[in-house]
Every structure is written in structure tokens, then in C-alpha cells.
Structure 1
Amino acid sequence: MSLLTLPVEILYHIIDYLDISTIFLSFSNVCTYLRIISKTYNHYQFDFRSISKTKFHYICQLIQPENILSLTLSDENKTPGEIRLFFSLFNIDQFTRLLSLTLLEIDEDDLNKILHENITSTITSLVINWRESHCPSQTTLTSLSSILNRLKLRKLELKTGSYAIEEMLWPVQYTLEHLILMYVTQKQYCTILRETPNLKTLTLNHCSMHKIDEYIITLSDPILYKQLTSLILTDSRMMMNELTSVLSLTPSLNYLKIISLPDSFNTISDGSHWEQFISTNLPLLHKFEFFFTNMYNVYYESRDVQLLISRFQTRFWLEEKHWYVVCDYIDYLNQTMLYTIPLCSTDFTYECQANKISYSSLLTMETDTVITENVRAINLTLTKLMAGVATMKNELSNQYLFRNLTRLTIDVDQEWSKECVEFLSKIINLSRLDKITFNPDLNPNSIHNTLNNIHILMKLAYNLSTLAIHPYSSSNDIINMEIICSMIPHHIKYLELTIRDINSMKIILDQHEQLWSLTLLASSDRSTPWSDFIDELIYRKKDFVYWQSYYSLHIWFGQTRKY
């Protein structure tokens, strides 16, 4: 059967599963009939987070705004300047059937322009992630509050770099069911719960509601908000008494996740305390995930770790709830990590068994692959990894320890050995990696082996699209940019690099014309005039857009103009 004989409905269903580049660069170019099908299809979900500027321009020429239901635009490192470029071609009010709008790393001025246009009332999902640590102005917050009051949102996500959002007048949101926020105060937390009577899930990032227990006591009659069934608190600094005060307001929770670096580790890591609190205040809680790490030095011996984990070995934890817990104590860091399994944190600092004391609440320890199945990014230090290679290489199973990893960060603080690369290839499925970050010591005494092993690793990570290199030299020698260039495979699309001067960028541009984007970070010991870099790109007749900050320059390349 030919593709051309299929009913239109089937072809539409096929398009549902294709990404935008495949639709417009392949599918619609097969023949006139499929081009017509792609034009009449009206359920487009455009995600422009990872695309070349050249493809972006081509697709924008074919866009029919009324056929788009979902739109994601990003000024992150892969596509810096994309949002302003897109809205120089379109007005937001042209997207008359838009249901979902996502704006990532957006500049304050660009956001204000969008908010002052006539945003379609059809939007039910809105995501705004402010650039870096920018704080929204009062003007922006006033406009945003007005729009929220007009839209009937089901999902809202606002990520900013400060508590400035507390100044926003929070409108009553009867339709809102899913909310994600950053930097929320105790007063705003209670206000949000009061003004969102149908809210089901709430995620709070960088959550530090200091003295919320004292604030709640001041309320004449604290209200219980029974509508909320799911609560996620990440990067929390709350102590146990503050957490229990927050959680006491939402007795209908059936899912709770906490990722915390508390000021006081002893109380938050007490399984008996949690058991008593949950039994009394959260009777419907079905799933509880947590990852607690101590902020200040804790000095444990093996018996201390065993005692801590024993409080999670009661009937409540093991038989009634089936919540299983692991405690790792990293001796050289005086650091304790207490977490439910599988790990609920997608980012993890890997320590081999030789560097830690580890106990589980289960009598038989779950396999490491089960514990790490949710981990997407790990950080490791070569020195500490090497310590475990000799002791673990004969104990490794046939399964990868990290099967689903997409991002890897390596501190290369000593000379690499071939055994180290082999070890990495056994614990990580390197072919799944999308991004590797190297922090290499380019000391001339060890540079040869370092380069050889980086080249080996690059060949094994053959699906890599993003590479970040932040070099230093323990011998204080000037870092050779030619050496750094030799680390970069020619299939890399997105490059992030710490540099010292404009000559470094010239070398990169000369040797790696294939790049879709380039992020340059200034060395910490000097200020870099980015205007010189921009002038160099113009001189080279580069097609590019960019944004810059004091310490970084972010460039998105198109095709170089030929004259």
C-alpha cells in the first residue's frame, strides 16, 4: 500500500508523531499531495528548543499560525535570540487557536512586548521562564496579573530569580489545576492555595519558607486546603518544623516529593518523626519521595548510618507503605545523602562504593540499576572515580549502572588512564549521552593522556550534540586553544566554552563552522568586551542573532552569507 492511498485521517495521525523538521523538510517535500496535507493539518505542536537557525527560518516561512495548538520558544544556549526573532515575524494574536505557550529564558523586554499584545484567550497552558536570575519588574507583574485574570488556565509555570513575584496581585483562578513556581514566601503560599480552589498539583522550586510555622500561628483560624493532591518541593532549605507546618495545610495529599538541603539534617532525617507526622496529618499519602543532603559537616561511622536507617525499617515504612530508603555517607566530604528508591532526583553526584558507607532499609539491597533509573545527569570527579576503578571493575554487572543518562559532567583533575574510560563505558550507556561537560586540567605534564582519553570517550558518545569545556591549568600555563579545539568532534552542534580573549573565538570559528550555536563564558580573572566579538562575526559575514550578559555571550548561527 502506498502512503498516498491512505485516508487523510491516517496521514494526520502520522503527522501527530513527527517532529517539525521531519514534517516540513521531509514529509511535505515528497510530493504536492503531502504538501497539501501538511498545510491543512491543524494540530501542530511546535517545539523550537533544538533547531538550527537555517531550518528555523525555512519553517517560519511555511507556518500558518491558525493551525498551531502548542508553541515552545527558547533563548537557552541552543537557540539564543530565538524568541525576539520569532516575534519579529509574527504577532502573538495571529495564533488564534493556541492552547499552550512556553517561553524559556525570555528577556524582560521581550516578555513585556508579548504581554502587551492581545494574547488569545484560548490558551490553557502558560510557561514563562525568565532569563538567568532576572527579576520581573512591577510593570511586568501587573501585566501578567491582568492576563492571568483573563485567561482560563489549567497549567501555569513561572520561574524567576527572586521573590519579586510575591509583589504580583494573584487573581482567583478557578480553572487552574497545575502550578509550578519559584521563590515563594509563606504568605504567598497560603494566598495561592486560597485563590486556586481546584488546584491539584503544586511544584515549588527554591522553596525556603522561613518561620512559616510562626506565620501560621498568627492566623486566627488556619484553613485546610483539601483540593491539593500532589506537592513537590525542590531545592528546599526548610527545617522539619517548617515542613510540617506547610504540609499540615494540605491533608489530602496522595503524592509528596521533597528535595532538600536543610539547615538541620538530624530532624529531617528522622524516620520516626516522619512516620508519626504522616500517620496523623497525611492519611491519604500513597507515594512519598525524598532526597535529603546535609548542609553542614556531619561525622558518621558505620553504626551511625545503621542507626539512622533503622528508623525506616518499621512496619509502617516496609509493609504498610512500601517506601524504601538508602543512606550514603561520603567520608571524605563528611556528607550524608538520605533518599527513597528509586532516586527521585534527576541530577546526582556519583561516588563509587569504595568512597562511601551505604545502608538500605531493605534486608536485600535493590540493584543499583533500579536505584538510578530516574537519573538523567551525573557529576563525577576523576580522582575519586579512579579510586573505585580497581575495587569495582570485577564486580560490575552486565547492565549499565546509569541506563537513562543524557548529561555527564566530569572534573578532570588528574591524568586520565585508559582503565578510567573503560570503567565509564561499563557504568554509563555513553551512546545515549546528549551533553558532556568537561572541566579539564590542561597541565602540560598530563595533557597527552588527557587528550587521548577524551578522544576515546568522544567516539563512544557518538550521539553527542552538546559539548561544554571549562578548562584550567594547575601549572598556571596559558591554555592552548588549539588543544581545546582538538577535543571537539565535528558532529557537535552546540558548544559552550570558557575563553580568555577574542583570538580564542577566531580559532573556534575557523575550525568548527558546523556549529549551530556557541556560548562563550569569560574567564573569571578578566572582563571581556563582547562588542569586539560581535564585530568579528559581522566582519566574517556571519548570519547570527545573540544575547549577552556581563560574563557571557550566546550566539545562534545561520548559514554564512556568500558574496
Structure 2
Amino acid sequence: MKFESLPNEIFLHCFEYLNAPDIFYAFEQLNPRFYRLIRTIPLRLNFEDINKLIFDRFCEKMLDYTEIQQQIYSLKLSNEQAYCQIQAFFTYFSLVEFTRLRSLTLIEIKENDIEQLSSTLPLLSQLMCLRLIPSLSVFYTLLDKLPKCKPNILSTPSISSTLSSQEIIPLTKLSVTFGMMNHIYQMLLHMPLLEYLNISRGLQFDSVSSADIGHLHGRVNHLKYLNVSDCMVNTDNLMDVIAYMINLRSLTVSVYENSDIIDASRWKHLITSSLSHLTVFRFRFGTFDRNEIIRKYEDFQTNFWIKEHQWYTECLLGDQILSQIFTIPYLNDTRLMGLKYVRHFNTRIDDSKTFDNVTDLHLPGKELMTSSGFYFPNIRSLVIHSLPVFANESDEQIFIRSLKRIMNLSNVKHLEIPLCSQTTRPTILLEILKEAPNLSSLNIYNCAVDILKTNMEICRYTSEMIKKLQFCVYSQPNPCQKPHDVSSIHKVFPNVEHLTCHQTQPDSCLFLLNNLPKLSTLTIHFYQSRDNGSFNKVKEELSKLKNIFFYEEILRDIQHVKLMAFGFWIDRGDITT
């Protein structure tokens, strides 16, 4: 059967998995049938990690054919890769133009985006799914701007200080990164249709009274999936809130430094008395008392946990570091910090796949030489906090063998390594590049360029492989504190597409824009003194460039100096005047 002979139903099913720009650029000009068909289907529009040229072209298409805006039911915008994408989108559209929008994801919201969002969010009456990944201050600014409707029946008094008792936010899915747990509990009163809730890095300093939590009765009956990840909580409050989620199917709880929550008997009582529909329960709890972990681990080995539900657990025991107890496999949305642990598990249970879901690993290099009993087949991001002293090539080979013993390096896509011109041999990076063919993202110290540019073999690998580069190692400060010289970056990383530079000069962006031909996004951080006249000259030069969306932000305002950020999103045509 020929491709074009397939019925429309098959194409409609396939289109559900494709991004709107891909659908239009692949099918719009194919023939009249597809031209008409793609203008009748709901569209998912995901601009995350998209090329600016494609972004501009599709936005312009939606301006020319406004009916496409009415086809968009899901929209995802992100400032994470393109520092200013959300603001760039707002130069084309207001969210209210997408009248059938049901799902909205906004990643790394900037303070400058708040005004636009505050005025439009209340008007999105069809919105059912909202995912915000903002700063803490942005979250609370937008909280009372969520779309609301008046209920016919539900009118339980509210403990929220920002919403009236009659207002209902008609969301079915909500994901929040950062937030006060007290406020999130209050917010649940206004979301009786919520089916999925994800809370990441929530904080709670004050307890909520049982009477106030009791207002949730009947208000969270639709909730089926709850994920509380890396949060600081009051155990009593959390369990009391969960007890009202009587239709919960899946529960994930990740809480550190809270021994009260490690209570098998209490969890069993909660599940048997209130959560009769629960089929998935995953947790990770931590405390600095390893002996307490061992004692409480035994309470999770009863028939209720092992035979009735097959919820198997394991411990990571450490000295003077946080010990953990968790359901296996280890949670996939968390990073593992180091290997300085002893594994403690039930030998009758298969432990070979315990860490299959771990994709993000942080570890000091010295721990590699002594670690045993760990293997991570699917690591995507590797952060090495410190490197041992390599006296010769033999030491480097031992280090590489140690890496290969605990992980499959061929899956690693991002590497952060404290490579420094004064302390490290450059060939250690070369050995890793050889063993990690899919590596495309790199964080190193800016001074490392000086030692890399003299090694032609390293330059060949970095030229071919590295597409995303950050001159910032978050795991520890730069020991040599050398000022950031960008003049050699294009010699070592000529094909980099995404670049972030810290503590550089504002005029460095002009050099980078003109010497990195494939650069798509650029972010530089620098200090500007109040009497620095060169700053305005740089901005004047930047204004002459074409096909670039430029974003300026004050990150910190100190007495006589500002920490500034310039963000650039580049359409790689001719950027010169």
C-alpha cells in the first residue's frame, strides 16, 4: 500500500505524536488533501529546544493563518535553552488568542514575563493542565492569577488568603517546582477537578491545623496521581492531606532529613484505611542516623509490603552523610549524590536493576577508586565534583576504568568536570570523550581552554561532539580564578550551538556572535559598574545586529555594581548589518 493511500484515521493518530511545526513543514505542501487535513486537527506546539528560525517562521505562519491558533490545545515555552523564548513569544501573541488552549507549560519564567502572564492567565477558561517552573517569587505572584470559575455546588469555606471561597480553578493537572506546602494545601481547595499533582522542592516551616486540613474533605476526590519530590514537610500534615485523596492510584514521596516519616506501620494504616485504590507506592526517605534506617528497614519486610504489594525496599547507609531507605528501583526523577554508601537489601530480592532509572549522577572522583556494588546503565548527566591528581597516563586509565566499572559511558550526554589549567592534565577529558560517543554538553572552567587548544586531538573531538558549552562548574569554585578570556573558544569549540559564559566582559558577546557560526543561544553574565560608559556602546553595537532576539536582565543590584545577564537567541542567517 502506498503512503498516500492510508486512511485519514491513521494519519490523525500519527499526528498526535508530532510537534505542530514538524507537521506543517512535512505535510502542508505535499498535496491538497494534507493541506486541508492538517488544518482540522488539534495541535501540540512545543517550542522547547527549537531553532529560532523555525520558531519565527511558525509564529509568522500563525499570524498569517490565525485559524491555526484555534487548533493549538497544548503549548510549551521554555527560557531554559533560549534565555528569552517566552518574551519572544509574547512579542508575537497574547495567550488569550489561543482560545482552545487546555495545557500550558512555562519553564524558567523570568520576572519580566509576570506582567503578561498575570493579565492573561485568568482569561484562559479552557485551561486544564498547567505546569510552572518559575522562581519562588514568581510562583506566588501568579498563584491568584490562575483561571477561575464559579461552582454550582462546591462552596466549602477557604483557608486561602488569595482566593475567595467560591472560586474554582478548573485544572486537572498541575506541576509546581518550589512552593510553600501550606499554600499548596490551601490551593487544593480550589482545584476539585485535579487528577494529577506534582510538587517538587516544596518547603514547610509551619504546621497546618487539623481543622484547616479537614476542609479538603470532598475537594480532592478526583486526584489519582500524587508526586511529592525532594520536599521538606510536616509528616502529620502530609499524611492527613493524603488521607483525603481516597481515589489515589499512584503515590510517590521523596523526603529527606525527616525520621518521623519513616514509619512502615503508619503508612500501612493510611493505605489500608484510606487508599483502597492505591497500586503504586514509591518513596525515598533519609536521615543522618544510619542505625535508625536499619531498624526501620526491617518494618518494611513484612507480608504487607513484600507479598501483598511487592513494594521492595533497599537502604544506602553512610557515615556522617545522609542515609536513605527507598523503594526499588531508585526514583528516576532524582539525582544520586556520591557513592560513599554501603548497600543494605533483602538478598532474596533481585537487586540487579535497582539503579536502572537513575540518569543523573554527582560524585567526587576519588570515590570512584573505592566504590563497589554500584552500576548505573542509563546515566545521561555526569557531574564530577573533584578529580584526583593524575601523575601520568596510567593514572588516567585507572580512573577511566573505574568510571566504566560503574556506568555505561556511551549513554552520557552531559558532563561537568573541574578541568583547570593549573591542576589537571587535559588528556583526562580526551579519554572520556573517546569512551562517551554521545556526549554533546560540557561544563568546564574557562581557563581549561588554554590547555585544550594546544592539543589537536582534543580539539578534533570537541569540534565534532560539543554542541552545548558552559564555562561554569557549579560543584566547586575555580582554583585559579583566572579572568574569562573568550578569544580562543572558537578554536576549541567551533561548532558549539549553545553557550553560557560567567564573569566575562559585555563586549565579549560581539566577538562570540561573530566567531561561532553555529551559535543559536548565548548567555553571558558580567558585572557592570555604574560609571562604565562602554556598556552603552556595546548595547549600541548590539542594536545593529539582525536576526537576533536580545534580552537584558539585572540579576543582582549591589551598591556600586550590577550583576547583569545578556541573553541572545539567534537566527543563523546573516547577523551583520
Q: TM class by shorter-chain length?
A: 0.7 to 0.9
Contact residue 433 and residue 464 of structure 1 kept, 8 A: no
Of 307, 314, 318, which aligns to 2:302?
A: 314
TM-fit CA distance, 1:236: 1.9
Gaps of 5+ in 1: 153-164
TM-fit CA distance, 1:363: 2.8
Contact residue 42 and residue 66 of structure 1 kept, 8 A: no
Partner residue, 1:183: 179
Query: Quick one: which amino acid aligns to residue 349 of structure 1?
Result: L
Partner residue, 2:424: 446
TM-fit CA distance, 1:4: 4.1
Of 368, 383, 389, which aligns to 1:409?
A: 383
Of 235, 258, 277, which aligns to 2:230?
A: 235
Contact residue 66 and residue 96 of structure 1 kept, 8 A: no
Distance 2:129 2:202 in 1: 21
Distance 1:21 1:470 in 2: 33
Distance 1:79 1:291 in 2: 33
The percentage of aligned residue pairs carrying the same residue is: 20
TM-fit CA distance, 1:260: 1.0
Contact residue 421 and residue 453 of structure 1 kept, 8 A: yes
Can you list the C-alpha shifts for 1:351-388, whole angstroms capped at 9, x where unaligned? 34xx3211114534411xx2233333222332322443
Contact residue 254 and residue 284 of structure 1 kept, 8 A: yes
Contact residue 226 and residue 250 of structure 2 kept, 8 A: yes
Of 194, 201, 205, which aligns to 1:199?
A: 194
Give the root-mean-square deviation of aligned CA atoms: 4.1
- 1:557 to 1:428, Cα distance in 2 relative to 1, 3 A: farther
TM-fit CA distance, 1:421: 3.8
Partner residue, 1:456: 434
Partner residue, 2:460: none
Of 336, 356, 359, which aligns to 1:373?
A: 356
TM-fit CA distance, 1:465: 5.0
Task: Give the 3-state SS of the residue equivalent to 1:440 in structure 2.
Answer: coil
Instruction: Give the length in aligned residue pairs.
Output: 522
Match status 1:546 vs 2:551: yes
TM-fit CA distance, 1:323: 1.1
Query: Quick one: which amino acid aligns to residue 422 of structure 2?
Result: P
Match status 1:359 vs 2:354: no
Partner residue, 1:290: 283
Partner residue, 2:524: 520
Can you list the C-alpha shifts for 1:398-456, whole angstroms capped at 9, x where unaligned? xx7232x443333344456234345545654555555x252424142424334434543
Distance 2:265 2:125 in 1: 49
Deviates further, 465-474 or 525-534:
525-534
Q: TM-score, normalised by structure 2?
A: 0.76
Task: Give the 3-state SS of the residue equivalent to 1:66 in structure 2.
Answer: helix
Partner residue, 1:499: 503
TM-fit CA distance, 1:235: 2.6
Match status 1:336 vs 2:323: yes
Deviates further, 507-516 or 473-482:
473-482
TM-fit CA distance, 1:56: 1.1
Distance 1:488 1:5 in 2: 47
Deviates further, 44-53 or 508-517:
508-517
Deviates further, 273-282 or 59-68:
273-282
Distance 2:367 2:528 in 1: 26
Distance 2:263 2:494 in 1: 49
Matches within 5 A, 1:15-94: 15-29=15-29, 31-33=30-32, 36-37=35-36, 40-63=39-62, 64-67=65-68, 68-94=71-97
TM-fit CA distance, 1:290: 1.0
Task: Give the 3-state SS of the residue equivalent to 2:82 in structure 1.
Answer: coil
Can you list the C-alpha shifts for 1:135-176, whole angstroms capped at 9, x where unaligned? 3676x655x25x322799xxxxxxxxxxxx953446543854
Distance 1:348 1:118 in 2: 33
- 1:176 to 1:82, Cα distance in 2 relative to 1, 3 A: closer
Q: TM-score, normalised by structure 1?
A: 0.77
Distance 1:530 1:320 in 2: 67
TM-fit CA distance, 1:47: 0.6
TM-fit CA distance, 1:470: 1.1
Larger RCO, structures 1/2 (Cα 8 Å, 6+ apart): 1
Distance 1:474 1:422 in 2: 27
Partner residue, 1:159: none
- 1:461 to 1:384, Cα distance in 2 relative to 1, 3 A: same
Partner residue, 2:399: 420
Distance 1:82 1:232 in 2: 28
Distance 1:83 1:271 in 2: 45
Contact residue 252 and residue 281 of structure 2 kept, 8 A: yes
Contact residue 411 and residue 439 of structure 1 kept, 8 A: yes
Partner residue, 1:155: none
Partner residue, 1:474: 479
Distance 1:521 1:90 in 2: 29
Distance 1:311 1:483 in 2: 59
Partner residue, 2:444: none
Distance 2:241 2:97 in 1: 43
- 1:366 to 1:251, Cα distance in 2 relative to 1, 3 A: same
- 1:221 to 1:468, Cα distance in 2 relative to 1, 3 A: closer
Distance 1:377 1:527 in 2: 44
Can you list the C-alpha shifts for 1:506-558, whole angstroms capped at 9, x where unaligned? 55445422121123345899999976764554455562332424244332111
Contact residue 172 and residue 196 of structure 1 kept, 8 A: no
Distance 2:529 2:323 in 1: 34
Matches within 5 A, 1:103-118: 103-108=106-111, 110-113=113-116, 116=119
Can you list the C-alpha shifts for 1:213-232, whole angstroms capped at 9, x where unaligned? 6x115789984756144332
Match status 1:100 vs 2:66: no
- 1:470 to 1:486, Cα distance in 2 relative to 1, 3 A: farther
Distance 1:244 1:461 in 2: 42
